[in-house]
Structure 1
């Protein structure tokens, strides 16, 4: 693997390494720091270190400058039972922090310290990548929902969020206009089988085909039950343009008596 940044063979003999080679920018969020580690490791799934038994911990590479020798050293760190163990990986000698982090991860992989977690026996997700996708699909406050809500709110409409239109029916709509009796659902392309973007999983395809079909049947039942109770249902796909979807919602709300 070739990393960005010029590699040095014998450290910085005549001057200290530049801060950009090892020091991160102050004030970054935890999410930004995690993303930096994910990129350097080649993906989050490659950041796991085995700990006690069959357990795994998410590790990070830390860069430290040794002023006396003018060298940057890489360490692997993780959390385990309230402790923060570390393992020395070796010196890194690139001009950028990104390249040195990547070099540190390469050292950790070469030593057999990190890698992807094995799939638990009987897991419904056949791989780490599938489980990552599932975790990324949040139940509420997704980006499409937030954009839609922002536009609709700016248009002067008020609504309730993540509420059951019918208290006795266990169905939660993303936006609920109680006076107009309009329920809006923002449907994820994977979970609800979007005809434009849904692609069946290659592994456990029978399971996922059955799962998505059940979700679609549930959606149809929800629409029917709400219509019978006098509600208007608007369904928005997550891939839709938020402005177009918002206009559709606004038109339906205004059209209600």
Structure 2
């Protein structure tokens, strides 16, 4: 068995990643593969927290003319739907999972309690953090950085539809250059959009490295946890 480099990780999944090629809703083949990779991490003894976005169901910017606060709360509810879907698939695979939400909804999930979340992780349970930070005007990137700091995660695994960080959009510029390593300061100064600036600053201040990698390549989550060179490493040094 490959030895993991990190003992406790925070996996950030975009809602769009769950949609796969569909562009919206769920691509259950993709979700099943993600769940299988999470299961492999748990079997290796890695403690896994996860934050899921809601962009496959709703994004605040879709609400043209809508109050920003209302649109953001709708997005938080979308993340709860995604968290429940991922939980169900994981538990069908025999992985004990808990969903904790920043907005209380006792019938379907636990409220976020830091000590309880850490205890779940210590017992080998996957903890999925839903509803963002519970506040409008904050992204799920910021939620991932905040929860990572609160549970003392050693790294954030930022799984995206692109295979790392580029100096420009690789979908628009075929000559875009990929970075192997970056500092948080470089990301902020060059406005590279790894995460939003609030999340990036939070990781910088708490010295939590980010590994940005492509989710479309099977096995990348495990490779990242084992210290293989995948994607782009963003850190303070």
Q: Normalization by structure 1: what TM-score?
A: 0.29
Higher relative contact order (CA 8 A, sep 6+): 2
Bigger radius of gyration among the two: 1
Of Structure 1 and Structure 2, the greater helix share is in 2
